[in-house]
């Protein structure tokens, strides 16, 4: 029986392992942390259930949804609120993505700017036919300017401030000057073509179900993966402190790219030029549980930087799924902007939670005085930053993808960052391994 060692028990690693196991391979998954799921995990605390990393799912995530159904979780899929909101002058302006005309009646943009948006949708119509959520890099010819430069050239300052910046912060936790036009166009292309959903029990149950099919070693750190003809040699340290070395036919590095290259530095040549330019936006999340209901049914409240320089958005978890908060309660996950995260990142958890709650209650005053739970999550390597030129680099790397290589790289850095990309590239890598090395 052929053997594979998967490094990393996030969605990319678990998907790869699951597919190889189904193809008859002997699979071992090694994970440095104490739980599976990577950046797609869920936490229960004081009657609340929140996703501490990745929070958004949509039916446009076909690879993800297909695998969810395959492993028996289709009945756990529930529909979330279709309402989103943007803050302007301290007021929450709602848009129902299920009813696109609400964007025209909402007061978050002037009539002049709404008319100017015609340019955006004309340009999007030109790009959309070549967009593929599995491989956004296939449209790399549109990775030619930042979304800020595009907005100043084709739209106006008001649209940039109250539409483009909030959307960019919501999807990427950063500012428009730091993101490729292609990334935001891809987000917009799916905005009105998807139904927002979540998993009953939290997104983390998906990884847990996949992991049940596999041999997973937790609290185990891989230090080195090298070629050892005809296969690979993997060195790792167990929770008990044992230093071990294991042989396998194939090794899949399903961690962040910097971690993967630390384990297999020879892979820098294979992953060039992506390896040289990739960077990560830190993820800082504050989860707040309230003994009161919000007036808004919005799934998220997006923040223009002029309204709130540090916070990117509020995610209203209780409007995402019915099991996220007790009846009549609210659960708010607050995401911080990577470009302004330094000060809040270094605060003590209690201090940060108190500051954040005060800002939430200023926007949602009905929650004031009802806070009963807080939790802080920090991701040093949160999301890959889709800066100008990143998709051209991805395109070059993906074009040179060798399915027969015995050391493979799998992760959401091969397309737009997210849970679907992780599953898609797990599928791709496993498919290539089986085709090249046999079932």
DSSP characters over 135-173: -GGGGGGG-SSBHHHHHHHHS-HHHIIIIIHHHHHHHHS
Q: In what order do the strands lie in the sheet with 250-253?
A: 215-217, 26-30, 3-7, 250-253, 407-409
What would the two tokens of residue 421 be?
A: 């990309």
**pLDDT tens-digit series, residues 1-23:** 999 999 999 999 999 999 999 99
Q: What is the pLDDT of residue 101?
A: 67
What percentage of the chain has pLDDT greater than the value 70? 99
**How many domains, in total, are found in the chain?**
1
What would the two tokens of residue 246 be?
A: 């294991």
Q: Within a domain: residue 255?
A: yes
| Rounded (to 5) percent helix, strand, coil in the chain | 40, 25, 35
Q: Within a domain: residue 139?
A: no
**pLDDT classification of 106: cutoffs 50, 70, 90:** confident
Residues 418-439, mean pLDDT to the nearest whole number: 95
The count of other CB atoms within 10 Å of the CB of residue 13 is 31
Residue corresponding to tokens 């959309």: 128
Q: Within a domain: residue 357?
A: no
Residue 207 phi, psi (nearest 5): -65, -40
Q: What is the pTM of this model?
A: 0.95
Q: Within a domain: residue 231?
A: yes
Cβ(278)–Cβ(403) below 8 Å = no
**pLDDT tens-digit series, residues 291-307:** 999 999 999 999 999 99
Q: Residue 232: which domain range?
A: 3-39+203-276+395-437
Residue 429 phi, psi (nearest 5): -65, -45
**pLDDT tens-digit series, residues 305-325:** 999 999 999 999 999 999 999
Q: Within a domain: residue 257?
A: yes
Q: What is the pLDDT of residue 398?
A: 93
Strand partners, 216: 29
Share the mean pLDDT of the chain.
95
Q: What is the pLDDT of residue 312?
A: 98
For the CA atoms of 357, 360, 365, 371, what is the dihedral angle to 10 degrees?
-30
Q: What is the pLDDT of residue 100?
A: 65
Q: In what order do the strands lie in the sheet with 231-237?
A: 221-228, 231-237, 243-248
Rg for the chain, CA atoms, rounded = 22
What CATH code is carried by the domain that includes residue 263? Answer: 3.50.50.60
What would the two tokens of residue 220 be?
A: 């185990």
Q: Within a domain: residue 25?
A: yes
Buried b (16+ CB within 10 A) or exposed e, 106-128: bebbeeebbebbebbeebbeebb
Q: Is 198 helix (H, G, I), strand (E, B) or coil?
A: strand
Q: Within a domain: residue 51?
A: no
For the CA atoms of 44, 282, 255, 224, what is the dihedral angle to 10 degrees?
-120
Q: Within a domain: residue 18?
A: yes
d(CA 205, CA 105): 39
Residue 13 phi, psi (nearest 5): -65, -45
Residues 235-263, mean pLDDT to the nearest whole number: 97
Measured in whole angstroms, the distance separating CA 362 from the mean position of its chain's CA atoms is 28
Q: What angle do CA 140, 190, 283 make, to 5 degrees?
A: 80
**pLDDT classification of 134: cutoffs 50, 70, 90:** confident
Cβ(76)–Cβ(205) below 8 Å = yes
């Amino acid at each position: 029986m052929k053997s594979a060692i998967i490094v990393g028990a996030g969605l990319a690693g678990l998907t790869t392992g699951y597919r190889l196991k189904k193809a008859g391979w002997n699979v071992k998954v090694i994970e440095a942390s104490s739980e599976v799921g990577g950046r797609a995990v869920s936490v229960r605390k004081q009657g609340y259930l929140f996703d501490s990393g990745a929070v958004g799912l949509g039916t446009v995530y076909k690879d993800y949804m297909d695998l969810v159904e395959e492993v028996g979780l289709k009945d756990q899929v529930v529909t979330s609120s279709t309402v989103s909101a943007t803050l302007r002058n301290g007021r929450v302006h709602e848009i129902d993505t299920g009813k696109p005309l609400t964007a025209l009646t909402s007061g978050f943009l002037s009539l002049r700017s709404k008319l100017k948006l015609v340019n955006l949708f004309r340009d999007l119509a030109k790009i959309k036919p070549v967009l593929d959520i599995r491989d956004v890099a296939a449209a790399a010819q549109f990775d030619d300017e930042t979304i800020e430069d595009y907005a100043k050239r084709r739209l106006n300052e008001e649209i940039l401030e109250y539409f483009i910046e909030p959307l960019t912060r919501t999807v990427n936790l950063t500012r428009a000057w730091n993101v490729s036009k292609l990334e935001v166009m891809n987000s917009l292309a799916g905005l009105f073509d998807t139904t927002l959903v979540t998993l009953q029990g939290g997104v983390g149950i998906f990884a847990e179900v996949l992991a049940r099919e596999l041999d997973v070693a937790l609290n185990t750190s891989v230090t080195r993966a090298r070629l050892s003809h005809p296969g690979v040699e993997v060195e790792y340290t167990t929770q008990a402190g044992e230093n071990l070395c294991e042989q396998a036919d194939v090794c899949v590095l399903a961690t962040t790219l910097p971690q993967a290259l630390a384990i297999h530095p020879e892979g820098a040549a294979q992953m060039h030029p992506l390896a040289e330019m990739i960077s990560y936006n830190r993820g800082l999340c504050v989860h707040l549980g309230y003994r009161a209901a919000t007036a808004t049914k919005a799934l998220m409240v997006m923040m223009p930087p002029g309204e709130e320089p540090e916070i990117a958005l509020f995610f209203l978890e209780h409007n995402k799924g019915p099991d996220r908060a007790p009846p009549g309660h609210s659960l708010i996950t607050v995401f911080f902007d990577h470009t302004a995260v330094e000060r809040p990142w270094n605060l003590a958890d209690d201090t940060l939670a108190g500051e954040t709650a005060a800002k939430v209650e200023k926007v949602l005053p009905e929650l004031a005085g009802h806070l009963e739970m807080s939790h802080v999550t920090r991701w040093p390597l949160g999301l890959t930053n889709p800066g100008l030129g990143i998709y051209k680099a991805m395109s070059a790397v993906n074009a040179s993808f060798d399915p027969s290589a015995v050391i493979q790289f799998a992760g959401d850095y091969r397309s737009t960052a997210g849970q679907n990309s992780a599953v898609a590239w797990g599928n791709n890598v496993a498919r290539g391994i089986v085709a090249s090395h046999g079932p």
